[in-house]
Structure 1
Amino acid sequence: MKSHFFAYIARMRFIQRWALMRNTASENVQEHSHQVAVLAHALAVIRNRFFGGTVDPGTVAVAALYHDASEILTGDMPTPIKYYNPAIRDAYKDVEALAERKLTEMLPPALQEDYRPILTIQDPEVAALVKAADKLSAYIKCLEELKAGNNEFREAAAQTRQALEGYGLPEVDYFLKTFLESFSLSLDELK
């Protein structure tokens, strides 16, 4: 059996994010997924080190790498549209679930059980960390755009920061306090 799974995964780089907003630097789903994996791994490590967690950072990172894989088949729906009303949100969740199943079925049968829990995150603790990392990635994008003088991202930055603070996750608060300011600095200021 030949499988197209990884050829599809490689196409994440063609799906652009933030389609409704003017960007100074474009971002694709593959770049975003890498950043979310790095951030999710960090959140898991912080949870384990400082807040008594026992989550596997590797599992969290891998789930984050694939968290938007369904967008290969669905495309990236802008957040204001996706969450405009409950009916649209629920319908889009159904479409994402169908796309996740379709991607899983592209794999040889012997590998499907290995990838199913990665493509469809089942552990609520892993899902919460990936969701928080996804939101952190969005906030970092907003900060980078604002740093470049793009005020188009001002409101998105405020809403995203408020959402992050509302999660009530101590590892997110720790990340915001310890690491976030650096994203607003120039290269020379990072010295």
Structure 2
Amino acid sequence: MGLFYFALLFLVTATLANDQQQKKSPELEQLEEFQREVLKNFNETNQRIEELTKLSDARFQKVMEILVSKKCAGAWSNELSALSNGKKYLFSYSARYSWKEANEICANKGLHLVTLQDLDELRLLRTEATRLQPGQSWWVSAKKDAGQTDFTWLNGTKLGLDSNLWKEGADTKYEYVYFYSGDGDLGNLDTTPSDDVNYIVCQLPTNCY
């Protein structure tokens, strides 16, 4: 409809100009000025539309990159549980695995072993895990390398030995970290040897929401 309007406008003005080319009336001059203004606005509008189209294409491309990225493949999993903190987790308790196996299982699903932000998140996970399978141990992503004293989450942040995420009297001599479903804060973080097997809590990466 917009293009038809502009075409009709130009046809009218061209006809009037041809009829009155010998007589440059003020009305014709005003009409020609209006034509120039309309043309200017039309060109600016087209330019803006092109800019918005390019921007939309860029955003669409970004969305598609996220969707096809292996890092976000887990976003489409119907196994995820959305908890009250707005994050999504996968609680796997059909079999027990070593920490390394658990880490690989999460990665293959486009997820990662859970990385805790604070005590509230730990308590939330513990409550859900207790509902699903009480009295069990569940891997988290924190670990320390052999010969080291500091624990590190998979995202590179440190888990200090003075953190309130540890249970009272936690034995931190082992490499891999888990929590226990049940027993209140006695279920907070503790460590276990590398050959131990536990259930898994995977997490959807934060850049996939």
For the aligned pair, the TM-score class normalised by the smaller chain equals under 0.3
Which protein has the bigger helix share? 1
TM-score by length of 2: 0.26
TM-score by length of 1: 0.27
